[in-house]
Amino acid sequence: MSSREWSTKTQACAYLISAPVLLEANIERFLEDEKYEWRRTPGATDAEQLVEFSGRVCYMSFGASQSPRTNAEYIANLRRQGHDSVLEHSNWTVLLTGVSRAFTHQLVRHRAGFSYSQLSQQYHDETEAKFVTPLGIVDRPDLVSAWQDAAEESRRTYRRLISALHTDGVQGREQLRGVRSAARSALLEATATTIVVTANARAWRHFLRVRGSIEGDLEMRVVSALILHCLASSGPQLFSDFSEVLLDDGWPSVIVQSEDSDATR
Ligand SMILES: Cc1cc2nc3c(=O)[nH]c(=O)nc-3n(C[C@H](O)[C@H](O)[C@H](O)COP(=O)(O)OP(=O)(O)OC[C@H]3O[C@@H](n4cnc5c(N)ncnc54)[C@H](O)[C@@H]3O)c2cc1C
């Protein structure tokens, strides 16, 4: 199996929809006003440079005070020193689709540095709800079939409740909310949802560290790998100590190297 064959077996998608952009003219204006020179690392991304710039402001380590460190070395040094608040300046927004409500219930427990906007089951009609097949059974057609029966039954019950409660006459938005609230309780936790998640580098790093390698939580591992892929495309040095590995079960795991081993490289 190729190392990313798992990606064809998951319904989850992660779209990077926003990433840091440096407003160069304003940075140049600051440097000119203060008569500073900032020697920059060619190829460093805006997300990486924003963190470096913010860290340098703490010590005004521009010009003669600037060490010969590259951007990658500067960021690794911040991490080693535990100067993690500087990482909070770079934020990314990721749109997740094809994930289960069970997954997002766990995701939204992360509060510090995170913002969420999720598809509402009170404002959105779920008559055509889709379900996320549990990754633990995708290779077992017999179990998928039994699970699909349960999913179909839950959608049937949802539709039955909606149509019965509508027959009783729904007036206004709050009554409709009441109808959908009652009906949605019949839907499985596997109901597919869509969520926009914004977080800064420090918060994403914490999330990936505590969630990315929980062996029995396949959906969390897979979505963590998709998210890492997005973030590393925009700020590779901010996530250079994280990597995706393939476990024997055929699914990815996001692992992090300890800062100690980072320091010896
Ligand atoms: C393996 C595993 C099993 C779990 N099992 C359960 C379970 O059975 N039941 C359950 O309810 N939850 C469970 N959780 C969720 C867990 O308790 C956390 O709510 C969730 O992981 C969010 O992490 P966090 O608290 O680090 O939050 P984040 O918002 O990501 O916070 C990041 C960090 O900021 C600091 N921080 C954030 N908020 C505060 C605060 N109010 N006060 C002080 N410091 C703060 C902490 O250092 C925290 O680690 C589990 C999580 C994992 C990883």
211 is an active site residue: yes
Average pLDDT of the residues in 124-139: 96
- 260 pLDDT higher than 60: no
Phi-psi region of 43 (alpha: psi -120 to 50; beta: other; left: phi over 0): left
Q: What is the pLDDT of residues 142-199, one digit of tens each?
A: 999 999 999 999 999 999 999 998 876 767 888 899 999 999 999 999 999 999 999 9
Sheet holding 192-200, edge to edge: 13-18, 91-100, 192-200, 114-118
Which of 244, 259, 240 is closest to 72 using CA atoms? 240
146 lines ligand 1 (CB under 6 A): no
Ligand 1 centroid–CA 104 distance in Å is: 14
Average pLDDT of the residues in 210-222: 98
pLDDT at 173 (0 to 100): 87
209 lines ligand 1 (CB under 6 A): no
pLDDT at 258 (0 to 100): 74
pLDDT at 2 (0 to 100): 58
Catalytic annotation, pick one of 79, 211, 221, 265: 211
Pair 226, 219: CB distance under 8 Å? no
% residues pLDDT > 90 (the chain): 90
Mean residue pLDDT of the chain comes to 94
Length of the chain: 265
Q: What is the pLDDT of residues 36-52, one digit of tens each?
A: 999 999 999 999 999 99
Both tokens of residue 234? 């925009």
pLDDT at 71 (0 to 100): 98
- 262 pLDDT higher than 50: no
CA 238-214-18 angle, 5° bins:
35
Ligand 1 centroid–CA 112 distance in Å is: 9
Q: What is the pLDDT of residues 53-92, one digit of tens each?
A: 999 999 999 999 999 999 999 999 999 999 999 999 999 9
